[in-house]
Amino acid sequence: MRQTIPHAGEPVRSTCPYCGVGCGLISDGDNLRGDPDHPANRGRLCVKGSSLLETLGEHGRLLSPRIGDRTVSWERALDEVAERFRRVIDEHGPDAVALYVSGQLLTEDYYVANKLMKGFIGSANIDTNSRLCMSSAVVAHKRAFGEDVVPGCYQDLELADLVVLTGSNTAWAHPIVYQRLAAEKKRRPAMKIVVIDPRRTATCDLADLHLPIRPGQDVALFNGLLAWLDQHQAVDRAYLEAHTRGFDATLAQARDGLGSWSGLAAQLGLAQADLECFYQWFAATGRTVTLFSQGINQARNGTDQGNAIINAHLATGRVGRPGAGPFSITGQPNAMGGREVGGLANQLAVHLELDNPAHHQAVADFWGAPALARRPGLMAVDLFRAIEAGTVKAVWIIATNPVDSLPEADRVRAALRACDTVVVSDCVSDTDTLECADIALPALAWGEKDGTVTNSERVISRQRSFLAAPGEARPDWWALCQVAKRLGFADAFDYRHPAQIFREYAAMTGLARRFGKCLDLTAAAALTDSGYQQWTPRRWPFGESERCFSDARFSTADGRARLIPCAPPPAECRSAELPLTLNSGRLRDQWHTMTRTGRAPMLFSHRDEPFVEIAPRTAARFGLEQGGYARVRSAAGEALVKVRFDDGLAEQALFMPLHWTDRFTGRARVDALVPALTDPHSGQPAFKHTPAMIQPWQPRWHGLLLGAMAAPAVDYWARVPVDAHHWRYQLAGQAMPDETTFMAWLPEAEHWLSLDDSAAGHHRRVALDRHNRIIAWLALAPEPVHANLEWLAGCLAQPVADGQRAGLLLGDPGDGGVDLGVVVCTCFQVREGQLRAAVEQGARTVSELGLSCRAGTNCGSCIPELKRFVAD
Ligand code: SF4
């Protein structure tokens, strides 16, 4: 365990750094538990949050600044960053430099980064990976409400009589919100839940109605809803007249081209009865929440999709009321904090606008900014295009991994490799983006950082440090301030503690209030350092209603909300070359590009290799086998992955998880396949609808390799950590490697155990050190290699026992143990075989499974899979 910071024996309250639910947790040394007093989770944690301690070791951390391959002092590294940025600015102007930051940053880091770039360097070229997940919702909110505000709170999901989940696999991406909903549904079975998703996901487990809509048809669905509401006298005329504008034009657009309800159902790919059921429920249910996420935002018309949802809520007056409202839920832990302090290239701080002269003046005055940017900067995709074109010559990337997460990711990598100056701040030492860095700066990780985050329901919570900073890792705000000072802005960046930054930000929200915005933290502007330290979670605007716009007064100049006419996009046309549609998304137990969850072996027990999911009937058309391999190809790139059948996918549909990078496999970065097509209003890329082709790939040999080695250069490899030092590799290829080749994959050894049947293509090697300890294990065969993986992993670094050699070579202890299959419940490592045994002994419900083998009794993330298991 790492060295902790003494807190006089007190448990430390902090916030989970993964998703936008923003769960509170308590650390007391070696234990972590959910914070029962935190309003987001009330003591619960999902499996990712529960396993945070597993990710905290110092192995794999970036511990010192580097210039090229040289370790240097912070002074030297900061001088170099400032000198390079200064030179580019002097020669090419401020728009030739950029910052690319992250929803992982704390609000204080974000505030300083934005202030430096927009206020003092004088360019708005600061964008964030939040562009990739919720910028369409930002624009939709601004167009409808006059401000980027999520009106409601999580409690609304429990107060609602109808919850519509659209474009959101809530069960996996926001597990604690899902569990709150599941608990309420159990308490109040009459509550209705509708899931709108082309895939039947784990979230559908809770649904009274699943609408497997065709991809890209959400505007048509919600336009149809608006027309239905009007036709069935379900719009709130009084609310529309008193508090909104734009209804008539929006309704006219919704009706345009709308024929019969049966025709609309056919267009959407839905049964007419299901479509009408949804419309009737929505029309009849005052307390309706529509929760939307990446499936809505990550589309070429993501902004319109968001507004089409909000239109239906405004038309029924269901905004800012208990149990009613549109609810955009964010992917990242501090996407909301970043939005508040202006972390996007097309906004100023505190919800003010770059192109509004009064806003501009107010911000310039508040900061004393000599050169506040006047026009929007480059949004993420355009920013990396500008780097490719050489117009942006120096970029500082903080806490994000664009080589994996941006569309056309191979192009992004090539652009960074060719860029004059790439600075990367990260807490880990080995990412696909760091590989492109000229200068690497070691950042603090979760557990070491100190600051605030805002979750999806506007609750500001503290992340507190309880671990000492390893090596020379430093806070990101500190590194930004040090560079700012070297650029000549010492007075404006003389912060010594995050509390100072938070106070300044809180005071700055007075400008938002002055311009009629909801964002108001001014009550915290005089917070003392100890008040900051003792901060308990609070929702903004402080001291007011739980919900924004509950008085139907919006943040527009006239106080009225706007309904926005949204035209459906042209029908998707597939080509013969790319006849399928590739969707991407999250897995239950992984996070982003695995830079953190990839350090916890336990989190790979749910899914341990990159894969593509496909419906069995589609797979049959393309000659694919369950568990086989496939090449997935798009206009932008190609991947080589395993095949998983999933009958929850539509015909023509593919799904790949977004997590795998070149650190964990050879070729499965899904964003290398995604074309860089963006929403015209938000600049958000369309990650969900990539035209693609799939074909089987048949290896001639398979392999299994364990040890501390780097990845072999073979056609297919995928690895998972066994512990802090060892990996387990799955390998496959076309040309069988000869002995010289495969021995080169293995470490130097003192002794070897070998077994060869060259004629049959079977080879086994066990490498032992001078103490007879196992340092590597390899098996190659023409067919997939089976071994007792858990037992083998436990043998690494252990001495070979007498009588163990034969078993070792076979990869099986020979104790008669049976393969229990994949892990379903990660918390208690319960495998399929154990669940099957429990069912054979009479378990018929999820609760009975829990009583029998504990499955599903901790975080609950596996409950949808347990239900399906019982049903099967
Ligand atoms: Fe963390 Fe999200 Fe899980 Fe809560 S739901 S514990 S914030 S990953």
Ligand 1 center to residue 164 CA distance, Å? Answer: 21
CATH class given for the domain over 580-697: mainly beta
Q: Under a CB-based contact definition with an 8 Å cutoff, are residues 763 and 683 in contact?
A: no
Q: What's the 15 CA to ligand 1 centre distance in angstroms?
A: 9
Q: Kindly state which CATH superfamily the domain 823-871 is placed in.
A: BFD-like [2Fe-2S]-binding domain (1.10.10.1100)
SS3 at position 12: strand
Pocket test for ligand 1, best of 13, 14, 18 (most atoms within 8 A of CB): 18
Return d(Cα 531, Cα 526) in angstroms, integer.
Answer: 9
- For strands 66-67 and 31-34, give the pairing: unpaired
Calculate ∠ Cα 30-443-487, nearest 5°: 155
pLDDT of residue 2: 56
40 lines ligand 1 (CB under 6 A): no
Pairing of strands 762-768, 751-757: antiparallel
Nearest CA owner, ligand 1 atom 4: 23
Q: Evaluate whether 223 touches 566 at the Cβ level (below 8 Å).
A: yes
Residue 459 Cβ < 6 Å to ligand 1: no
Q: How far apart are the first and last CA of the chain?
A: 42
Q: Is any ligand 1 atom within 6 A of the Cβ of residue 661?
A: no
Ligand 1 centroid–CA 379 distance in Å is: 28
C-alpha to C-alpha distance for 334 and 762, rounded to whole angstroms: 51
Please give the pLDDT value at position 863: 82
Low-confidence ranges of the chain (pLDDT < 70): 1-9, 572-573, 816-819
Is 2.20.25.90 the CATH number for 12-55? yes
17 CA to centre of ligand 1 in angstroms: 8
Give pLDDT, residue 542: 87
Using the atom order of ligand 1, give the atom closest to the CA of residue 591: 8
Instruction: Indicate the domain borders of the chain.
Output: 12-55, 66-114+338-535, 135-328, 580-697, 701-810, 823-871
Alpha carbon of residue 315 to chain centroid: 32
661 with 410: CB under 8 angstroms? no
Per-residue exposure over 481-510, b if at least 16 CB sit within 10 Å of its own CB, e if not: bbbbbbbebeebbebeebbebbbbbbbbbb
Three-point CA angle 701, 702, 708, nearest 5°:
130
* For the CA of 861, the nearest atom of ligand 1: 3
453 CB near ligand 1 (under 6 Å) = no
Instruction: Confirm or reject: Cβ of 19 under 6 Å from ligand 1.
Output: yes
38, 46, 457, best to mutate for ligand 1 pocket (most atoms within 8 Å of CB): 46
Quote the pLDDT of residue 1: 46
Domain 66-114+338-535 has CATH 3.40.50.740: yes
Q: Could you tell me the distance, in angstroms and rounded to a whole number, from the CA of residue 420 to the centre of ligand 1?
A: 38
Helices (H) and strands (E) in the chain, counts: 29, 34
CATH of region 135-328 = 3.40.228.10
In tens, the pLDDT along 96-124 reads: 999 999 999 999 999 999 999 999 999 99
Assess contact for 729 and 718: CB atoms under 8 A: yes
